[in-house]
Amino acid sequence: PRPRPRPPRRDLETSDRSVTAAMARPSKPRKAQQQPRRSASGRGLLAGVVLAAVAALLGLRGRLAGVAERPSLVRTTCSRRDYKPAVPGCSPTGDACGRLVLDGFASAEELAGLRAIAARGMALGGGDGGPTILDLQSGALSWRDKFIDVWAAFNASGTPPFTTRDVAVYADVVRRIRSLAESTFGVSGLHLTAPTFFSRHSGDRPPKTEHDEYWHVHVDTLQYGSFTYTALLYLADGDVDFSGGRLAFVDDRWERPLERVVPRPGKLVLFSSGHEHPHHVERVESGERLALTVAFTCDPEAALHDFLSRAVPEPEAEGGASVRREESSAADVTGEIAAEEVHSDVSARSSACSWWRSTRSPWR
C-alpha cells in the first residue's frame, strides 16, 4: 500500500482550520527580524563609555611611561622643614602643596616675544660648558666660565638695550603665572623673587665646571632660599629642538622618578618649592633646550618689586610715535666685553652678578 502523506507541521501562526490553506500557499522567505534601534541617549552613553575607556588606557600608558603629556594637578603633603616663618594665607601647609602641568599656557605670540628676548640677550655672551643664563633683573649673563652684566654689555658694544616695550611680554607672562599660582593653590600675597631667568642648555657642549652640571637632583628651597612656588615655562620642543632634557620629579630618597615632563613650547610646570618636590633636569643629549624660570615667595623682604627696571623707556619720535632703533650685532665684541671689563661701573656689575658667581646651581 502507498504510504499516507504525513500531516503538515503546524505553524504557530496557523489554526486547525487553516492547515490545508497553509499547505496550499507557497512558502515565502521570512524577513529577518529587525533589531530595535538604540535611542540617542543609549548611543551617547555607549560613546561615553568607549571614550572613558580610551582615556583610561591612554592615562595608564602615560603613567607606565612616567611621562606627563596632559594637563594634570597632583596634590602632595607639604614638607614641615620648609616655608618658615609661615605667612598666613600664603605659605603652603598640610596637603596644600602640589604640582601642575599645563599645556598651552603661553600663546604663539608670547612665545615669540620671549624667545626674542632670550636670543638678543644671549647673543652678547654664552657659556662654554652647556648652560647659558640670562637674568635681566640682576643683569647676569653667562660668558665662557663666568658671568658678565648684560646691561653693561649692551652699553659697551653700542647695541641698543632692551626697552620697556621689548620686555612688556615678559612682565605680562609673569603676572599671569602669579595669578595662576594663587588660584591653583588657594593663596594670596605672592611676590616675584630672585632669581627669575632664562636658561639655554646646549647638548653639544660638555661641562667645563661644576656649575655646568645641571642634571643633579635638588630642592629649590635649599638651592635658592626664598622660593615658595616655582614655575617653568618651556620655549622649545623636546621632540623637535633637542633630545633629552626632561624634567623629572623623584621620590623623597632622591632616587626613583615619580613623573617626567617632556618640554613643549608654551607648557607650564608650576609646583611648591619645598622638599616635597625634589627634581632635576635630565641631561640634554643634542640640540638646545630653552626655558624660563619664574619664582614666587611669601616673604615681602625677598620680593622683587620692579624686576625689569633696567629696561630703558621706548624713544619717541615727533608726534609721540615710538621709534625702534636698529639693532647692531654684538658678535664681534662680546669677547672684548668680558675679557677687558669695559663697563665703567665694574663694582656695581660685580655686585649684581655676585649671587650667580658664588652659587652652585643646576640651571634648568
* CATH classification at residue 199: 2.60.120
Whether residue 193 is contained in a domain is answered as yes
- Residue 136 has a CB neighbour count (10 Å cut-off) of 23
pTM passes above 0.85: no
Q: Please list the pLDDT of the chain residue by residue as tens digits (364 residues).
A: 565 655 554 443 334 444 334 344 444 545 545 555 545 555 555 555 444 454 444 444 443 334 444 557 899 999 999 998 899 999 999 999 999 999 999 999 999 999 999 999 999 999 999 999 999 999 999 999 899 999 999 999 999 999 999 999 999 999 999 999 999 999 999 999 999 999 999 999 988 888 888 999 999 999 998 999 999 999 999 999 999 999 999 998 888 999 999 999 999 999 999 999 999 999 999 999 999 999 999 999 999 988 899 999 987 655 544 444 444 344 444 444 444 443 334 333 444 455 555 555 555 6
HSE (side-chain half, CA atoms, 13 Å) at 358: 7
pLDDT of residue 221: 94
Whether residue 218 is contained in a domain is answered as yes
Query: Cα-Cα-Cα-Cα dihedral of 334, 338, 344, 350, to 10°?
Result: 130
Whether residue 206 is contained in a domain is answered as yes
Q: What does the angle CA 241 – CA 270 – CA 282 come to, to the nearest 5 degrees? A: 45
Q: Provide the 3-class DSSP secondary structure of residue 156.
A: helix
Whether residue 109 is contained in a domain is answered as no
Whether residue 39 is contained in a domain is answered as no
Residue matched to cell numbers 652659587? 359
pLDDT of residue 153: 95
Angle separating helix axes 108-122 and 168-185, nearest 10 degrees:
120
Whether residue 87 is contained in a domain is answered as no
Whether residue 108 is contained in a domain is answered as no
User: Is residue 289 annotated as part of the catalytic site, yes or no?
Assistant: yes
Whether residue 324 is contained in a domain is answered as no
Q: In which domain, by residue range, is 193 found?
A: 133-313
What is the Cα–Cα distance from 139 to 129, expressed in whole angstroms? Answer: 20
From the candidates 99, 246, 289, 364, give the one annotated as an active-site residue.
Answer: 289
**Number of structural domains the chain divides into:** 1
Tell me whether residue 223 is exposed, middle or buried, using C-beta atoms within 10 angstroms of its C-beta: 0 to 12, 13 to 18, 19 or more: middle
Contact 272, 97 (CB under 8 A): yes
Q: What letters, b where the CB count within 10 A reaches 16 and e where it falls short, cover 167-199?
A: bebbeebbeebbebbbebbebeebbbbbbbbbb
